[in-house]
Amino acid sequence: MNFVRQRLATILLVIGLILAWICLTAVVIRQTLLLSAKIPSYATTALKNPTVRSAVSDLIVKSVKHSYPVLSQIPTAQLNTAVDRALTQPAVAYEFANVTLQIQQHFIGLSNQQIVLGGPALSTAVAQIISPNNPTQRQLIEKIPFTYAISTSSIPSIGKYFQWIGNLISVSAYSGAVLLVSAIAVSAKKNRTLRKIGIAFIMFSAFEVAVFWLLPKYVLSHFHSGPEVVVSGIMAAAGSAIVPIYVGVLGAGIAFTAVSLLI
C-alpha cells in the first residue's frame, strides 16, 4: 500500500514541480517586461557597461561618419571616444531610456515602430566634447543626428504569446500548488517529499538566475558590436531587478528542506 501511495505521490510531485517551474518562469518574464517605471534605471545600468557603450558608439559612428563632411575631418577613434563619453551624461542616458522602452514595447508586441539609438541630446553632448573651443564646428556637429536605426527584425517579439502569460501564471500556480499539497498528503514518506520540493525550488531559483541574469551577462562579453549587445545589456540590467523573486523562491526551497529535516 505504501508503495502505491509513494508512486502516486511521485507522479503528483513531478507534475506539480513542472507546473511550479512554468509558473515561476512566466512570472519572471512578465515582471521583467512590465517594470516600465524601472526602464530608465535599466538604461542607466546598461550604459555603465563599457561593452554596451562601445557597441552603441560603434553603431552610431558608422551610421553617420560618411554622411557629413565635417565628420570626415575627425578621426573615427576620436568620434567613438566622444560618443562613448557622451553616453555617460544624464541627458543622453535619459534619451537612451526611451530606446529601452521602445525595445520593451516591441518585445511584448505593443509597437512595431522603428527603434532609433541616439538623438538631439547625444548630438549636443558629442559636439561639446569634440569642439569645446570651436563654436562654428560645434554648431555644425550639433545639427548632425547622431542616431542608428535598429532593425526590428533583429529583436524578437512575443506579442502574440504575451497575453497568454497572465492566464498561464494563474493556471500553473493553482494547479501546481494543489498537486504539490496532494503529493505531500498522499506520500508515505512526507519528509522525503518535502525535501524534494525544497531542493527543486532551490534549483529553480538557480536556473532562473542563470538564464535571465547571468546568461545575458555571459553572452554580452562575447559580443563586440551590434544591436545584440544593446539588447543583452538591457536584459542583464532588467534581470537584476527581479532578484526578490529569486530570493523568495530560494527561501521557500530552504524552508521546505529545513522542515523535512525536522519531521
Q: How far apart are CA 35 and CA 223, in angstroms?
A: 26
Domain boundaries, the chain: 39-154
Q: How many CB atoms lie within 10 A of CB 43?
A: 27
The pLDDT value recorded for residue 260 is 84
The pLDDT value recorded for residue 122 is 92
Q: How many CB atoms lie within 10 A of CB 26?
A: 20
The pLDDT value recorded for residue 236 is 65
Render pLDDT for 240-253 as a digit per residue (tens, 0 to 9). 667 788 888 989 99
Average of per-residue pLDDT values in the chain:
81
Q: How far apart are CA 171 and CA 212, in angstroms?
A: 23
Three-class DSSP category at 147? strand
Render pLDDT for 3-20 as a digit per residue (tens, 0 to 9). 777 788 888 999 999 999
Specify the higher pLDDT residue, 234 or 97. 97
C-alpha cell read off for 148: 542608428
The pLDDT value recorded for residue 231 is 66
Phi, psi of 145, rounded to the nearest 5 degrees: -75, 100
Lowest mean pLDDT among 39-43, 60-64, 142-146: 39-43
Specify the higher pLDDT residue, 94 or 204. 204
Specify the higher pLDDT residue, 44 or 86. 86
Q: How far apart are CA 76 and CA 82, in angstroms?
A: 10
The pLDDT value recorded for residue 117 is 81
Specify the higher pLDDT residue, 212 or 54. 54
Q: How far apart are CA 201 and CA 251, in angstroms?
A: 9
Burial class (CB in 10 A: 0-12, 13-18, 19+), 183: buried
Q: How far apart are CA 187 and CA 197, in angstroms?
A: 13
Render pLDDT for 79-134 as a digit per residue (tens, 0 to 9). 999 999 999 888 888 888 777 777 777 777 777 777 788 889 999 999 999 988 88
Render pLDDT for 24-43 as a digit per residue (tens, 0 to 9). 888 887 776 666 556 667 77
CB 76 within 8 A of CB 64: no
Neighbour-count burial for 215-235, b at 16+ CB within 10 Å, e otherwise = ebbeebeebeeebbbbbbbbb
N-to-C CA span, the chain: 22
Q: How far apart are CA 116 and CA 120, in angstroms?
A: 12
Q: How far apart are CA 105 and CA 127, in angstroms?
A: 31
Amino acid identity, residue 174?
A: Y
Which residues neighbour 146 within 8 Å (Cβ) at sequence distance 6 or greater?
A: 60, 64, 83, 118, 119, 122, 123, 126
What is the percent of the chain with per-residue pLDDT over 70, rounded to a whole number? 80
Amino acid identity, residue 185?
A: A
The pLDDT value recorded for residue 112 is 74
